[in-house]
Amino acid sequence: MTGITYGDAMKIPGDHIQITTDTWTEPFWQAAKAERLTACQCGACGHFRMPPTAFCPNCQSQKVNWPALPGTGTVFSFAICNKSPFPDVPDFVYVPVVVDLDGAPGARLVSNLVGMPAEDVVIGMKVRVDWNDIRDGWKLPIFRKA
């Protein structure tokens, strides 16, 4: 891409990640704990929305479904971060990514892409979900090249 070599995109250490949930987000995290990727879908009109919110932006309904998604998607956007947030790991490289989720038209998930050279990530690349164990027994969806 630019001729710069960053090294492999790495997983954020799970003990550094803590989540909070509420009525509207907990079903997403409970599904993730079971390694099932889902997205918030309006129970009235079928419109997908991520992150989950109390009211459908399309029809204002509060009914929601949480369908199981195939766990695949497409890179919509990404960044390469090579300023380590961890003083003890100076060469830490991570790639925040925005993924268009298969099976949930219009829904995008902000996540991290791991397990490949950061300089090889491209928009439009197919990815597949994986899971990162984080604090308090929760799991965070992350993505790898499909």
Q: Confirm or reject binding of residue 61 to Zn ion (CB under 5 A).
A: yes
| Nearest-approach distance from CB 13 to Zn ion, in angstroms | 38
Whether a cis peptide bond, with omega within 30° of 0, leads into 51 is yes
Specify the residue, 59 or 89, whose C-beta has the smaller distance to Zn ion: 59
Q: Quick one: which of 34, 45, 89, 110 contacts Zn ion (CB under 5 A)? A: 45
Candidate residues 10, 12, 56, 104; the one interacting with Zn ion per rule CB under 5 A: 56
| 140 is a site residue for Zn ion (CB under 5 A) | no
* Binding residues for Zn ion restricted to 118-137, rule: CB under 5 A: none
Does 110 interact with Zn ion (rule: CB under 5 A)? no
| Residue 42 near Zn ion by CB under 5 A | yes
The closest of 94, 98, 65 to 80, measured between CA atoms, is: 94
Question: In Å, what is the CA distance from 128 to each residue of 12, 67, 104, 113, 134?
Answer: 17, 17, 14, 10, 19
Assess 54 for contact with Zn ion (CB under 5 A): no
3-state secondary structure 45-104: CCCEECCCCCCCCCCCCCCEECCECCCEEEEEEECCECCCCCCCCCCCCEEEEEEEECCC
Site for Zn ion contains 47 (CB under 5 A): yes
The Cα–Cα gap between 15 and 120 comes to 27
Q: Which range in 17-25, 54-62, 88-96, 137-145 contacts Zn ion by CB under 5 A?
A: 54-62
Residues that bind Zn ion (CB under 5 A): 42, 44-45, 47, 56, 58-59, 61
